[in-house]
A and B are shown apart, each in its own frame.
Chain A
Amino acid sequence: MIEVDHLTKYYGNHAAVADVSFTAEPGQILGFLGPNGAGKTTTMRIITGYMPASSGTARVAGFDVFEQSREVRRRVGYLPENPPLYRDMTPTSYLDFVARIKGVPRPDRASAVGRALEATATEEVARQPIGTLSRGYKQRVAIAQAIVHSPEVIVLDEPTIGLDPQQIIGIRKLIRTLAEDRTVILSTHILPEVNQICDRVVIISRGRIVADDTTDSLTASEDLETVFLRVTTGDEPVVEEEVEEEEVGEAEQDLEPEAADDTTLDDYNHTAVHEITGVTEGEGDDR
């Protein structure tokens, strides 16, 4: 379970995340949406113990991410935006290393690595140097490192980026399976992905939560794309608990450019679709 309570993070005088609060229950997939620079990655980094918050608290599996950081890090699997891969290692040796530092006991390590390879369909490249793998395989190896130690909470930053459509379907299935008894937070730019796999949606814009509801409630009267564009272009927030309107620092606004008023859904989704098709076209058999 994840409990984020009035979390704020400043870089200098600029608030990258301002008064963010939300919870995610076990068995739940929480979709974390927002424009680039909205504060998604910063929030995820705080939850995973990578960096401390300026104020507010975050608890993972009952442990405070700052006071009990080591306990939190033991229980969290994290896929950062840039896959944290050692190019000279093979997926097997890499996952074995990750399992070791994540505290998987020696007798269980080989089976844990085997399960992670199987779950991400990377067994056939398990003995090739990671540097020689295609982007899709690299992404899957990176996902494997996030689950190799069977964490209670999984935080995935853009998990399907770089994958072809078939692989995306596979990874979505994997995420659903993982979420059966775990808490999963995933950030994505692909809005249909949220519709398909997330139980709950949190939309963050300019460091603040502008929507927080179940996917069904949020899309009851209008589709997610419309909601997303409305709340991220400055219209009213859509949250279960009302979020106070406060001034956001001027420089913060510079960091997170507002979407143009005439932005359309097609404009927004074009980038995500282009990412997928671009990779697919270039990858051939994905090796």
Chain B
Amino acid sequence: MTNIWAIAYKELRSYFYSPVAYVVMAGFLLISGFMFWNMLAQFSRYVAIYSSMQQPGQMEQMNLNDWVLSPLLGNMIIVFIMIIPLLTMRLFAEERANGTDELLLTSPVSTLEITLGKFSGATLFLVAMLACAFVYPAVLMYFGDPEVPRILTGYLALLLIGMSAISIGLFTSTLTDNQIVAGVLAGGTLLLLLLISWPADAVGESMGAVLRHLSLTDHSQDMMRGLVKSDDVIYYLSVVTVGLFLSQRSLESLRWR
């Protein structure tokens, strides 16, 4: 555990010692802030329209969760797909390119500890990003009355998707010493998992169910609505476990290559 924390802490520090953390954090907040402003403006516009039209039925259907937060969190998944490869591409590829993998692999640290340390460091950065992004519901809670449990389950979905993306990015980073290649591989894999359910309606019932089950986003729909289902959580934890397992095995195989 000490070794895992030592490596995680080193990774977290490395993010903040380089421009990566600031560029990624600024980019994430800028894009998600723009989305938040856009959705809030749209919500306000419709409220104004329905108020002027004296339509209480329509007004009752409007709420901050459905009109602002759920779409915002859904769009933030897309942002994650774009920025998480930027966080993960260096994790192992940079070690190999700089020769620091020799330091790690000749230290009394197991490859599992190295893998978990790297994963934890990136996940802590993800948590910091999500904490910063909590400003959006905080603004809504200050001025309005959104459902807090739905906000929390929505952020839980984002955290689980982010952790899944990190584990996939971690694995692709073990495959090469070229950060760009690692990043492109991670981005491509994540995009595929994002879009994989698109042809679900056209490929038959059973195959469609499989594709939907593999989709990173389909498992977040219920959580965005405030419902945490065990099969959704198990799906994300399975993706994380598979990603970490493959990363550890790939790292171990460096000794044999």
Given contacts A48-B106, A52-B255, A93-B13, contact A101 B98 (CB under 8 A): no
Once the chains bind, are A88 and B106 in contact (CB under 8 Å)?
no
Measured CA separation A80–B99 after assembly (Å): 8
Q: Which residues of A contact B63 (CB under 8 A)?
A: none
Measured CA separation A220–B30 after assembly (Å): 74
Residue A197, interface by CB 8 Å: no
Option from A48, A76, A82, A88 in Cβ contact (under 8 Å) with B17: A88
CB of B91 to closest CB in A, whole Å: 13
Q: Which residues of B contact A83 (CB under 8 A)?
A: 99
Q: Which residues of B contact A100 (CB under 8 A)?
A: 2-3, 6
Once the chains bind, are B256 and A52 in contact (CB under 8 Å)?
yes
Q: Which residues of A contact B17 (CB under 8 A)?
A: 88-89, 129
Q: Mark A213-243, 1 if CB is under 8 A from B, else 0.
A: 0000000000000000000000000000000
CB of A177 to closest CB in B, whole Å: 23
Measured CA separation A97–B8 after assembly (Å): 11
Residue B195, interface by CB 8 Å: no
Using C-beta atoms within 8 Å of the partner chain, give the interface range for chain A.
20 to 34
Q: Which residues of A contact B3 (CB under 8 A)?
A: 100-101
Once the chains bind, are B14 and A88 in contact (CB under 8 Å)?
yes
Closest residue on chain A to residue B102 by CB atoms: A80
Residue A206, interface by CB 8 Å: no
Closest residue on chain A to residue B254 by CB atoms: A51
Interface size on B, residues (CB 8 A): 24
Closest residue on chain B to residue A90 by CB atoms: B17
Once the chains bind, are A101 and B13 in contact (CB under 8 Å)?
no
Given contacts A80-B102, A85-B100, A100-B6, contact A70 B110 (CB under 8 A): yes
Given contacts A84-B100, A88-B17, A100-B6, contact A50 B108 (CB under 8 A): no
> Main SS of chain A's interface residues?
loop
Residue A192, interface by CB 8 Å: no
Q: Which residues of A contact B101 (CB under 8 A)?
A: 84
Once the chains bind, are B98 and A50 in contact (CB under 8 Å)?
no
Q: Which residues of A contact B99 (CB under 8 A)?
A: 80-84
CB of B94 to closest CB in A, whole Å: 9
Residue B24, interface by CB 8 Å: no
Interface residues in B100-158 (C-beta closer than 8 Å to A): 100-110
Once the chains bind, are A101 and B14 in contact (CB under 8 Å)?
no
Once the chains bind, are A101 and B256 in contact (CB under 8 Å)?
no
Closest residue on chain A to residue B255 by CB atoms: A51
Residue A98, interface by CB 8 Å: yes
Option from B7, B18, B102, B255 in Cβ contact (under 8 Å) with A101: B7
Residue B249, interface by CB 8 Å: no
Once the chains bind, are B103 and A145 in contact (CB under 8 Å)?
yes
Once the chains bind, are A78 and B14 in contact (CB under 8 Å)?
no
Residue A40, interface by CB 8 Å: no
Residue B10, interface by CB 8 Å: yes
CB of B207 to closest CB in A, whole Å: 41
Once the chains bind, are A84 and B98 in contact (CB under 8 Å)?
yes
Given contacts A86-B14, A88-B14, contact A103 B108 (CB under 8 A): yes
Given contacts A51-B256, A86-B14, contact A101 B100 (CB under 8 A): no
Given contacts A52-B256, A88-B14, A88-B18, contact A98 B103 (CB under 8 A): yes
Interface residues of B (CB under 8 A from A): 2-3, 6-7, 10, 13-14, 17-18, 98-110, 255-256
Give 19 new A-B contacts, CB below 8 A, not counting A50-B102, A74-B108, A82-B98: A45-B102, A50-B105, A50-B106, A50-B255, A70-B110, A78-B103, A80-B99, A83-B99, A84-B99, A84-B102, A85-B98, A86-B14, A86-B100, A87-B98, A89-B10, A93-B13, A97-B10, A100-B3, A102-B107
- 22 A-B pairs within 8 Å (CB atoms) are namely A45-B102, A50-B102, A51-B256, A52-B255, A52-B256, A70-B108, A71-B108, A73-B108, A78-B103, A78-B106, A82-B99, A84-B98, A84-B101, A84-B103, A86-B100, A88-B17, A88-B18, A93-B13, A97-B6, A101-B7, A101-B104, A102-B108
